[in-house]
Amino acid sequence: MDDDSRGSSWQPVTRFAWLSGGLVAVSQPGPLVKIFAGAGSHVLISQFNLRAYADLVGALRYFGYTVIGVTFITTADEASGLTSPQFFAQSFDGTWRARDAQQKWRHVAHHSGQKDMMLLSDVAARVASGLSSGQMRLHHLCAAYSAQLRSKVRALPIKAPSRFKDTNSPAVYLAIHAIFWELAVLRDTLAEFAARFVFDLKGVATMRGLVGSLRKRNAATALQCELIKASDEDSHGWLSLFSAYRNLFTHGAPLQDVVGVSFAILDNEVLRDGVTVPGIYYPLPADAASLSRKRSNGPLHDTLAELISSLSEKPLGKDVEPDALRYLALTFDRLVRLAENLLLSSPVPPDDIVLTEADIIGEIKVSGES
């Protein structure tokens, strides 16, 4: 891992850094890093040399790239696709927060199980699984963006901006919906832990139920205020917005149909070093809560002509309609931060797991790699 290798020696690891827009930075053993228009693409966007193995993410961030996560390929089986390499989400402050939090929640599940604290063990194990699943879904979304960028950019420069649908679009939409569902499960599991082990509330298993109960309490703890603020629609709280998107795509219409007809966007972005890079952008609709209420009353457009007319409207931009990949990566990072904060309230600390001879049952067999 990057944070375990601060020296300048080059580790026998191939790293794929998944960037926003579908770009991929490839770092094989040695200092050279190449950035391509998608995994497997022959369109080289840029390249540079690292000073040390551990500098990959920092260097990419310095040039202005947004790093969503990194895949580490360490064995021949991983390189050939026989086994799955590890993917870790990259936090927006440059840390491996999701990896570390997942491990700590597994420690809580292990130690509480040994103490027969089975409710805590169960919830902690589900939080750890949610963090693992969230990273996996994020990886799938990065790969879907990357495959589409590779198919759209076959030479430079590109004609941009352009709106489009192609045969790769369904896979991207599916990956977007899948991570919304997965993060909603993680959100509610964290709420279940908070309800039971922080606020001593029984029978609460969703964030909506937890926040509803907290609003009735007079004494305001820091966590209580944080959750209520994050869930407030009027102040555009991040949990409120996430829930509005998830509910809209689940109960209203899928993203590709939610405003009538949706398109992906291929555009250019100028980075800090002046390099112009292409990228895919899937806009999430503005004001999801209001849109959900409108859709509950019927279709958005009264006539086919009105629907067709809406197709010519100029996109509102990423400040109003955020890109799905960046938005979901940021939301996952926020949920991981919440998971970290809740660890402080665990009745059982996330101490390291130490195996002794008493824990070993039967003969240990070590099989070599083929």
In this prediction, residue 292 has a pLDDT band, given cuts at 50, 70 and 90, of confident
Work out the burial of residue 139: count CB atoms within 10 Å of its CB; fewer than 13 is exposed, 13-18 middle, 19 or more buried: buried
Assign 14 to helix, strand or coil.
strand
Question: Tens digit of pLDDT for each residue in 158-182?
Answer: 988 899 999 999 999 999 999 999 9
Distance, in Å, from the CA atom of 37 to the CA atom of 22, rounded to the nearest integer, reads 7
Question: Tens digit of pLDDT for each residue in 295-346?
Answer: 888 888 778 887 777 766 777 788 899 999 999 999 999 999 999 999 999 9
Those residues whose C-beta lies under 8 Å from the C-beta of residue 149, and which sit 6 or more positions away, are 21, 22, 23, 37, 38, 41, 266, 278, 279, 280
Question: Tens digit of pLDDT for each residue in 270-284?
Answer: 998 788 999 999 999
Question: Tens digit of pLDDT for each residue in 110-151?
Answer: 999 999 999 999 999 999 999 999 999 999 999 999 999 999
Distance, in Å, from the CA atom of 313 to the CA atom of 15, rounded to the nearest integer, reads 41
In this prediction, residue 370 has a pLDDT band, given cuts at 50, 70 and 90, of very low
Q: Is the dihedral of CA 41, 281, 254, 90 positive or negative?
A: positive
Confidence check: pLDDT of 217 > 50: yes
pLDDT score recorded for residue 282: 97
Confidence check: pLDDT of 27 > 50: yes
DSSP 233-247: TTTT-HHHHHHHHHH
Q: Token pair of 49, please?
A: 């040399």
Those residues whose C-beta lies under 8 Å from the C-beta of residue 39, and which sit 6 or more positions away, are 16, 24, 143, 146, 147, 150
Confidence check: pLDDT of 2 > 70: no
Confidence check: pLDDT of 257 > 80: yes
pLDDT score recorded for residue 122: 98
Least confident of 10-14, 39-43, 126-130, 259-263: 259-263
pLDDT score recorded for residue 73: 97
* CA-based nearest residue to 205, from 131, 119, 328: 119
Q: Taking the model in full, what pTM does it have?
A: 0.92
Q: Which residue has the tokens 């599940």?
A: 109
Please indicate whether residue 7 or residue 173 has the higher confidence score (pLDDT).
Answer: 173
pLDDT score recorded for residue 369: 52
pLDDT score recorded for residue 367: 64
Those residues whose C-beta lies under 8 Å from the C-beta of residue 177, and which sit 6 or more positions away, are 249, 254, 255
DSSP 64-124: T--EEEEEEE-SHHHHHTSSPPEEEEPPTTSS-HHHHHHHHHHHHHHHHHHTT-HHHHHHH
Q: How many residues does the chain have?
A: 370
Confidence check: pLDDT of 6 > 60: no
Q: Mean per-residue pLDDT for 81-99?
A: 95
pLDDT score recorded for residue 325: 98
Those residues whose C-beta lies under 8 Å from the C-beta of residue 56, and which sit 6 or more positions away, are 2, 15, 17, 25, 27, 33, 50, 70
Q: Which letter does DSSP use for residue 231 in this model?
A: T
In this prediction, residue 359 has a pLDDT band, given cuts at 50, 70 and 90, of low
Those residues whose C-beta lies under 8 Å from the C-beta of residue 100, and which sit 6 or more positions away, are none
Beta strands in the chain (DSSP E): 14-19, 24-27, 32-36, 44-49, 67-73, 86-89, 162-164, 264-270, 276-281
Confidence check: pLDDT of 207 > 50: yes
Q: Token pair of 14, please?
A: 């191939």
pLDDT score recorded for residue 170: 97
